Structures are given as structure tokens and as C-alpha cells.
A and B are shown apart, each in its own frame.
Chain A
Amino acid sequence: MEIERHEYDVVVIGAGGAGLRAAIEARQQGKRTAIVCKSLFGKAHTVMAEGGAAAAMGNVNPDDNWMVHFRDTMRGGKFLNNWRMAELHAKEAPDRVWELEAWGALFDRTKDGKISQRNFGGHEYPRLAHVGDRTGLELIRTLQQRVVALQQEDEKLHGDPEAYIKVFAECTVTRLLKEGGAIAGAFGYWRETGKFVLFDAPAVVLATGGIGKSYVVTSNSWEYTGDGHALALLAGAELINMEFIQFHPTGMVWPPSVRGILVTESVRGDGGVLRNSEGRRFMFDYVPDVFKDKYATTEEEADRWYTDQANNRRPPELLPRDEVARAINAEVKAGRGSPQGGVFLDVSTRLPAAEIVKRLPSMHHQFKELADVDITREPMQVGPTCHYIMGGVEVDADTGAASVPGLFAAGEVSGGMHGSNRLGGNSLSDLLVFGRRAGAGAAAYVNGLAKRPAASEESIRDARDEALAPLERSGGENPYEVHHELQRTMNELVGIIRKAEEVSEALEAVEKLKERSKNTASPGGRIYNPGWHLALDLRNMLLVSECVARAALLREESRGGHTRDDYPKMSPEWRRRLLVCSATPDGATVSVEEKIQPSMRADLLVLFDRPELSKYLTEDELAEYDAVDGAVKEA
């Protein structure tokens, strides 16, 4: 069988923000770079990001700086974050945003002509660089156009625009290939023709995004089938924090066909409030102890905050996403929900109609077109939707390197940066900061190689056989049905609120679905056959779902994106423990091990007050803090 072959230095899988930024970096460092993506160039899930990119530029409030951003990020993640990643992210995000501007991005402006910054949940100061509510589109288009600019440069220099950076669009990678322990390439198929393609490359950067398509109600697009998570596992790398899934508090709830589509947090950042069926602003009833002194206790104070942030505390609608999602869930369960099973999100009584259309154009458009609701006149109905996975490939903070030599990961597919819960706005900045670092990490790795590993013919044959199997079977399972059942299982049994019995039940169900997925049949040919593509994606969705469920069953506490009905409290003991998933090369067995989270570096630790840390750390860790703090004060 003929397999198209290409030789590259760095292959980036995924063309969202992280993938494009990684590819740009690898190419800028002189590496021949391939970008391989499942969709057309410029369509990745990043386009759906609405709110903005968090970067402590201090354009709106000069008190903002990387230390404040670092603290907010750690608090949002309930101190489970990889602190080195949170540090690098807070320090480098402004440079990454400014760089976009030099590549042609046009952010909204402040009066003095700088990049405007907006308020968002969990961020102490206005911090999100934005363009109305379509920031993700601006980001992806800018990076896409930067790739084109580099290709134009290469055309002038080498006579071939694709000499150093080429996009392989509508191309899906199904296996990473290795020689010895190290990455040797990637195997995949062209969606358009069904023909196979092999990339010989010593470095692969995974930038495939998340796993939302394992859930029924999700804000994620079809591409979010956990491909990178699964490819990493099957190649022998580890995933961490897989139990932590962010349910965004505000997804559309009606009509049913759009259930889950995102309603941006900017609605609340710009003044929108949440009410239950009794008209009560219920978020005042849900401010947890760890955040008590930072949030307003009365509507009057909360409303004053929008114009005077120095003398008032923030409205509780702007608590981190996990808190708001649980609160909405609780209100609906208590019978105080809206007619379609959500709660009311109202901006119509808070801002003049013209201002709403100007600040939230996509939301205005989306509700009008899809739900016949005019958000300048009436409230929206919203409820939680599966939005983001904090867990992912365990990587070195500085280089994005996974444990498998030659494998790198950045963006949503990597784990650690956001701990147990991601703050809104920290994703777009994460993509830029760690996309660049992974691209640089991959380039440096290639520079240090004495010889390029080569994939064995046997491993290529195996990859080909695995990919062809659903087409060659007849009368097997319908992949669409297996997928629907997985989505229902995860939504109902490993959702926002989890119980041991239910998660165990989900694991049994996933085990059965894994068997069924081995017997899927896809009628039709190889040319653009979505039934075949789904059958192949199922392997990945099932594997990551198993990781989510196994880790969720083990973690006996509630923290961020993991809430256990049977263990409702946060436990300092569990804060120190990371759950690390690995799998056998055939994906048949997933195992989870505990690993101790390294202590925070002293100079970062002392950025926090002892009373705050005492809510999160163990007695032993607090003793460490006292020793460090004492030494700092003496010096």
C-alpha cells in the first residue's frame, strides 16, 4: 500500500492558538515545520474563545503586575497549579499579546490608545485584552496571517512558500511512531481522500485542545475528541489532573439543538447578573469561605464596584467558574430554575441597548439567530456546559517536553498550568506563552540530536491496519450510537457533581463501550467519510473518558473542577497529590498513580499571606512557609 511520506524537523498537531504559536516559533528558529490539523486552516476551536487574553499589562489599572496575576491564577486553581507554569505565564503573557499587535492584531483600545483590558471572573484587576466578544477569532486570524507572512518570506528567499512551514489541513493523526523510546514521526490520513500519510520527524508538538465531545452538553466543537491526550498516552507519556473538568457556568440551554453553546463570561464582566426564578441574585448566597473578604455582600456594593473598584468589592457573579457553575446547578436542583432548566442571566436591565450591542455583538447575534431572544430586552437562560479540561499531558514547564523524548505539548492538551480550575482569559494567554515555549523546546531538542530516529515498517503497518479496520468490517456497531452512549454516560455519571457509585458505574459502561468500539463498521468509501472518521476518534474519546473517570474515583475531595458529593470538602492532604494516568500501548489498560506535587519556590510562596495559605496547605507545608517567611523578614 502506498503511503505518502514527508520529512520535517518539527510536526505540530493542531492549528489552534497553541499549535500555530508553536509552529511559528519552530519556523522562526529555522526548523522545517509541518502544521497538521483536522479542519481547514483558521477554523480551530480557538475561534470560539470570546472574552479575551489575560495579561498583566496594567493598561487600565496600573497596580496590576505579574505577581497579582500569578496569585489570581493560583487561587483560581485552588493551589493545585504547577506553580512554575503559572509564574512563566504571568510574566510572559504581556509580551505575547504585544507581539500579536506587531503582527497585525487590532485589539480594542483605552482612551490613551493602549490595548483595553476588561474585568473577568477571578482576576483582581481589569486584565483581558479583547476585541468585543470575538477575541479568539482575532487571535487565530493574526497567527494564521503570521504563518502566511512567514511563507511569503520563504517564497522570496527560497522560491517556495512552503519550504519551511506548511499546513496539512483536514489531515488527522492516528498514531505517534517511535524508535527505541524516542519520537520518530506521526501517522495519519487525509480526510479528503482517505489516503495515508506519514511524517518522519524527531519532534512532535501536541496542540490538539480538549475532550468535550465525550459529553452531551458541551461548548466544544467536533474536533475535541481528546486526540492529543490519547496519542500521548499510547506513546507512553503521562496525563495529570484528568479529573478536573471545567463546566462553564453559562451555556445556552434552549433550544435543545444549541444546548451547551457558550455564553461569554464578559456578559457578567460587563455588568450582567444571575437571577433565579424568584428574581433573587443568588450568587450572594454562594461565596465560599476562601473568597469571603474579596466579594461584595450586598447588591449595592456589587453595583458600585463597576465604577469604583478601589473602594468596593467585586460582585459574586465574578467568582471563579467552578463556584458559579455549582451554584447554578444547586439553584436548578432546588427548583428555582428558569422554565427551560437554567437560570436567568440578565444584561438588559443593566446596560443601554446600544452599549450591549457594541460590547457583546456576538452574543446579541447568537441569541437572536438561534433562540429568538433579544438580549437587550429580556434575560438569557443559561446553565453549565462542559467547556475545558484542566488535565493533560504532564510537561516540563519551561520547554513543554513530555516524558517521551521528542514529544511536546502546549495549550489545553497539556496539564498543570491551571491546577484544578482555569480562570477565564487564562486560556488564550496560555496558548501563546506555552505554544511559543513548546515550539522553542522542540527546536532545541532537534538541535541536540545526533541522529534522527526512524519508525519501523512494522509500526507503520500496524498503524495502517488499525486505521483501516472500521472500513473493512461489515455489519458491526454504528459508531454514532457508541458515541451518543459515551456522551450520555459521561454527562450523567461523571459530570459536575460526582459520587463514587456513579463514577464506578461509568467505568463499567466505558469498558463495555471500549469492546463495542472495537467492532464498529463504517459503510462507504475512504473519501471524506465522517462515519469512518468518528469510528477512529472513538478510541481517543474512550481512552480519555476512562482517565477522567478513574482519577475522579480516586480523588476523595472536592476542588475546582472536581466535586464529590460524598467528599464535599477541600483537603490540604489531597492538594499535594497529583493523579498521574498512563496506559499500555494498545490502550487496553489505564493505570493511575499518585505523585507528590513539588513545593512552591520560596520567593513565590511569600507572595501570599499566611492566613490565605492556611486555607490550602498542610501543617507541614505551613511550617516550611514560616521558615521561609522568617528568613525573608530577617533579610
Chain B
Amino acid sequence: MGYKAKFRVWRGEGGEGRLEDFTVEVNEGEVVLDVIHRLQATQAPDLAVRWNCKAGKCGSCSMEINGKPRLGCMTRMSTFEETETITVTPMRTFPVIKDLVTDVSFNYQKAREIPSFTPPKDVKPGEYRMQQIDVERSQEFRKCIECFMCNNVCHVIRDHDENKPAFAGPRFLMRIAELDMHPYDVADRKDSAQNEHGLGYCNITKCCTEVCPEHIKITDNALIPMKERVVDRKYDPLVWLGNKIFKRSGG
């Protein structure tokens, strides 16, 4: 069943690098990450790659395989022709540390900028009562394994470093939607989504949804509903009037 596959893997560090060619054995049922591991064990012991669970649950082994963002552990070799050269490169949106490992600290920075879950002060642990149907919307977003491929593929920042400070990326705009839809969250998140986390940059091309390994409908279920709320807020004439009257001193 085994065959020799041609792999081109990006190698390098410190801002320099190149694609390196390998010929490597592939066995039945293997995934791209298995082949990377075989390269480490036999030809390139210092080839850097992140991975943990190897079961699509931790979101560590994000990489670009033939130009598409994929989890290495969930990309089966049987989806390629045996004669095909498979090109593996690091995620493009984040700076490369070495080989396939990138500096994803952008994501952790953004995570810290989103105000946390804010429950009402008078509800004690054990007193929460929620219906299944009401938690399911946020549960969909909590399936996120933080592979950061949605942020990687998002054109707002993929080739535009300059947008990074103002844009949280699909992952964390979805986090805002998740909290906004949490039955017990009392924080007002609509204005800050737009003004502080860059919701307005998103023009719903759905690239994030397409690459999500958890098949979360990021655009349809998180980003668009969030945009709709912002619009309601912005253009509701009563709210507008109210803001004019009561917040005049602040404006």
C-alpha cells in the first residue's frame, strides 16, 4: 500500500527561508502530519511543527497545504494523487518562528482585549437556569478549537499588517457574538464590537467559515447577526435621539 510521495516543505527562521524538497514514504490511512513526523524521525530531526492531540481537537497543527489553510492531522494523504507534489507552508498571516511554526501571539493579545463574561451580580453559582435552545447558539461558537485558521485566511489582515491593531479577526468577533448571545451576559457589546474590535472591516466574504475545521458558520451565525445588531443600534432613530438628549455632555 505504501508509496513515495514528493513533499515541498518551507524551512527557515529569522525572516529567511526556502522550500525544501523531500521524497518520503506514505502508508495507508496516513495524514499529512504523519508524513511530517516521518520526515522528523528520518530526514530532518529539527523540522519544527506544532501539534498536540492529532485528532482535530486542539487546533495546534494549522498549516497551509497546497496553499489552503488546513489542520495537518485532519488532512488525509488519500485526498491527493500519488504523483502530486504536496507543498506545506506555515500560516501566512503570522510571522514565522521556524519552519511551520508561526508566532500567533496576535491572537492571544486580541483575546485579552475582549471584555470577559459578565453575569448579573445577584446570580450565585448553582443558580443558573438556561434552556438548551438558548445555550445552543453560543455553544456552536464554543466548539472553536482556536486553530486560528479563520484569522489566518481573513483578507483584512492576511496581506494587511496595518489593519491588525484595529481588527480582532473572525475568531474574536465570534467570541463577542458568543458572549452577546449568552443568556446571562449583561455587558453591552454592540458598540465596542464596531468601534474597538473592527467588526466594520468584515465584508462577509465567508473565507473564515470555509476554512473552519469545526464547521462553525462564523459569518452567518456570528458575524452577520452581530452586524445586524450594530446597525439596529446605530440607525434606530429613538436610540439616536435618546443619545443626543441624554449624552450630550459626553458628545
Contact = CB atoms under 8 A, between A and B. Distances in A.
Q: Do A and B bind each other?
A: yes
Interface of A: 39-45, 47-48, 94-95, 98-99, 101-104, 106-109, 112-114, 116, 131-132, 134, 136-138, 141, 145, 148-149, 151-152, 161, 192, 221-223, 254-258, 261-262, 362, 365-366, 369-371, 478-481, 484, 522-525, 527-532
A528 B51 contact: no
Interface string B27-67: 11111001000001100011111111111111110000000
B57 A362 contact: yes
Contacts of B210: none
Nearest to B46: A524
A531 B98 contact: no
Contacts of B126: 94-95, 98, 101
Contact of B59 (A43, A114, A152, A192): A43
A42 B138 CA distance: 19
Interface stretch (B108-116, B153-161, B233-241): B108-116
A282 to B, nearest CB: 27
Contacts of A362: 57
A106 B111 contact: no
Point out which of B60, B76, B124, B142 has the most chain A C-beta atoms below 10 A from its C-beta: B142
Contact of B142 (A106, A480, A532): A106
B145 interface: yes
B200 interface: no
Interface of B: 13, 27-31, 34, 40-41, 45-60, 74, 76, 97-99, 101, 104, 108, 111-112, 115-117, 119, 123-126, 128-132, 135, 138-139, 142-146, 179, 182
A113 B133 CA distance: 10
A18 to B, nearest CB: 17
Contact of A370 (B47, B76, B131, B132): B76
B116 to A, nearest CB: 4
B9 to A, nearest CB: 14
Contact of A258 (B29, B48, B99, B104): B29
21 contacts: A42-B146, A48-B55, A104-B179, A113-B131, A131-B139, A132-B139, A148-B111, A151-B112, A221-B54, A222-B52, A256-B29, A257-B34, A366-B56, A370-B74, A480-B40, A524-B45, A527-B97, A529-B48, A530-B40, A530-B45, A530-B48
B54 A40 contact: no
Contact of A528 (B54, B101, B112): B101
Given A221-B52, A254-B29, A369-B76, A528 B117 contact: no
B135 A109 contact: yes
Nearest to A161: B112
Given A192-B97, A528-B97, A531-B40, A257 B27 contact: yes
Contact of B58 (A47, A94, A102): A47
Contacts of B108: 41
B128 to A, nearest CB: 5
Contact of B54 (A47, A95, A261): A261
Given A102-B125, A102-B128, A113-B130, A43 B29 contact: no
Contacts of B29: 254-258, 370-371
B45 A531 contact: yes
B125 A257 contact: no
Nearest to A145: B116
B116 A47 contact: no
A470 B52 CA distance: 23
B203 to A, nearest CB: 28
Nearest to B14: A527
Contacts of B125: 95, 98-99, 101-102
A109 B28 contact: no
A478 B42 CA distance: 9
Given A39-B52, A529-B48, A221 B115 contact: no
Contact of B145 (A41, A47, A222, A261): A47
A44 B60 CA distance: 10
Contact of A137 (B57, B131, B138): B57
Closest 10 CB pairs of A and B: A255-B29, A524-B46, A531-B45, A104-B117, A113-B129, A149-B116, A98-B125, A528-B48, A480-B41, A98-B126
Nearest to B99: A528
B55 A262 contact: yes
A16 to B, nearest CB: 11
A134 B143 CA distance: 8
A444 to B, nearest CB: 23
A369 B31 CA distance: 10
Contacts of B119: 102, 104
Point out which of B48, B53, B115, B128 has the most chain A C-beta atoms below 10 A from its C-beta: B53
A222 B30 CA distance: 18
A525 B46 contact: yes
A192 B98 CA distance: 8
A95 B124 CA distance: 11
B212 to A, nearest CB: 12
Contacts of B40: 480, 530-531
B53 A106 contact: no
Point out which of B29, B55, B139, B182 has the most chain A C-beta atoms below 10 A from its C-beta: B55
Nearest to A525: B46
Contact of A149 (B59, B117, B130): B117
A525 B99 CA distance: 13
Nearest to A479: B45
Contacts of A371: 29
Contacts of A108: 132, 135
A182 to B, nearest CB: 33
Contacts of B48: 527-530
B53 A221 contact: yes
Given A102-B128, A134-B57, 13 more contacts: A39-B52, A39-B58, A47-B53, A47-B57, A95-B126, A104-B119, A145-B116, A148-B112, A254-B29, A478-B45, A523-B46, A527-B97, A528-B13
A39 B111 CA distance: 17
Contacts of A103: 117
A370 B116 contact: no
Given A113-B131, A254-B29, A255-B28, A530 B47 contact: yes
A283 B144 CA distance: 37
Contacts of B99: 528
A113 B98 CA distance: 48
Contacts of A223: 52
Contacts of B47: 530
A529 B46 contact: yes
A401 B45 CA distance: 39
